[in-house]
């Protein structure tokens, strides 16, 4: 157990469970630490923006920044159940395979899929990980996460990066991404972000053979998605 990590959270928990406006001394006493120790932690937390001091009295409070770390309330486990009818509907209307993908660091994986009842159809493995580049789904994740986009850019040439940024911008404007035989010959794919509380928590994708699943069909599915979501 990393001591200062534990102390960090001891301090934060103390602040949180004592009205979110507390004195250095009270924390120190309650946790059995030196004032100056607690003070140092608070200075660091303040620099990082996780705590701030009261304007009137020298008291500390936790700021809203901690919220970016809070995923509670996001229905991860409920995601399949929630979006299953959506992708089933998309497959029903398009007669192509639809997917539900979630981000895993620099990769994504399919959590769920729905295949149409026809012989020639796209079929990809659930659970397996895919690279972000060259896939419609990956590009959506990248477009909505500059951080991810930068990571993926590493090692690319100047011109490739410019092209990528341009495409990201376009995806943000349109609200969806396309993969026109980029990942694989004869394969078309369209991907749309799914948000929860302003956070992108999954991406819905639709894949079909290029000859029958063209831009027109894909755009139609985007429209449909937006009406049923």
Partner DNA sequence: TTAATTAATCCAACATCGTTGAACAAATGA
Partner DNA sequence: TCATTTGTTCAACGATGTTGGATTAATTAA
Residue 58 site contact among its own copies, DNA, none (CB < 5 to 8 Å, cut-off depends on kind): DNA
How many chain residues interact with DNA (CB under 7 A)?
A: 24
Cβ proximity to its own copies: between 17 and 81 the closer is: 17
DSSP-based three-state secondary structure for 182: coil
Rounded to the nearest whole angstrom, what is the least distance from the CB of residue 101 to its own copies in the complex? 10
The rounded distance, in Å, linking the Cα atoms of 206 and 191 is 6
CB of 90 to DNA, least distance (A): 28
Q: What is the 3-state secondary structure (H, E, C) of 77-105?
A: CCHHHHHHHHHHHHHHHHCCEEEEEEEEC
What percentage of the chain's residues is helix, strand, coil (to nearest 5)? 45, 20, 30
Of 57-65, 84-92, 113-121, 174-182, which segment contacts its own copies by CB under 8 A?
A: 57-65
Position 2 contacts DNA (CB under 7 A): yes
Taking residues 2 to 31 in sequence order and writing x for each that binds its own copies by CB under 8 A, - otherwise, the string is x-xxx-xx--xx--xxxxxxxx--xx--x-
The correct pick among 17, 18, 20, 34 for binding DNA (CB under 7 A) is 34
Interacting residues with its own copies between 128 and 157 (CB under 8 A)? 141, 145, 147-148, 151
Find the DSSP H helices in the chain: 3-16, 24-31, 35-48, 79-94, 136-143, 146-153, 158-174, 215-228
Judged by DSSP in three states, 199 sits in strand
Report in angstroms how near the CB of residue 197 gets to DNA at its nearest.
28
25 burial (CB, 10 Å; 0-12 / 13-18 / 19+) is: exposed
- Strand-pairing partners, residue 53, are 60
Work out which of 15, 41, 141, 206 binds DNA, going by CB under 7 A: 41
Which is nearer to its own copies, 10 or 93 (by Cβ)?
Answer: 10
Distance CA 95, CA 209 (A): 11
Residues interacting with DNA, by CB under 7 A?
1-5, 7, 23-25, 33-37, 39-43, 53, 57-59, 128
């Amino acid at each position: 157990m990393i001591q200062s990590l534990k102390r960090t959270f001891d301090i934060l928990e103390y602040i949180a469970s004592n009205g979110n406006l507390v004195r250095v001394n009270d924390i120190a006493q309650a946790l059995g630490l030196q004032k100056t120790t607690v003070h140092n932690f608070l200075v660091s937390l303040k620099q990082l923006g996780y705590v701030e001091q009261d304007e009137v009295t020298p008291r500390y409070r936790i700021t809203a920044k901690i919220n970016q770390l809070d995923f509670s309330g996001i229905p991860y486990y409920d995601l399949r159940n929630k979006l299953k009818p959506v992708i089933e509907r998309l497959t029903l209307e398009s007669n192509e395979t639809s997917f539900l993908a979630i981000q895993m660091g620099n990769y994504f994986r399919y959590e769920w899929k729905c295949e149409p009842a026809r012989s020639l159809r796209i079929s990809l493995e659930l659970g397996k990980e895919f690279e972000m580049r060259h896939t419609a789904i990956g590009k959506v994740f990248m477009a909505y996460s500059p951080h991810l986009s930068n990571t993926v850019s590493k090692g690319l040439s100047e011109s490739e990066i410019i092209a990528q940024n341009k495409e990201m911008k376009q995806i943000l404007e349109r609200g969806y991404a396309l993969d026109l035989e980029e990942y694989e010959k004869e394969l078309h794919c369209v991907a749309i972000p799914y948000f929860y509380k302003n956070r992108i928590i999954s991406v819905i994708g639709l894949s079909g053979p290029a000859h029958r699943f063209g831009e027109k069909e894909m755009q139609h599915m985007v429209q449909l998605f937006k009406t049923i979501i």
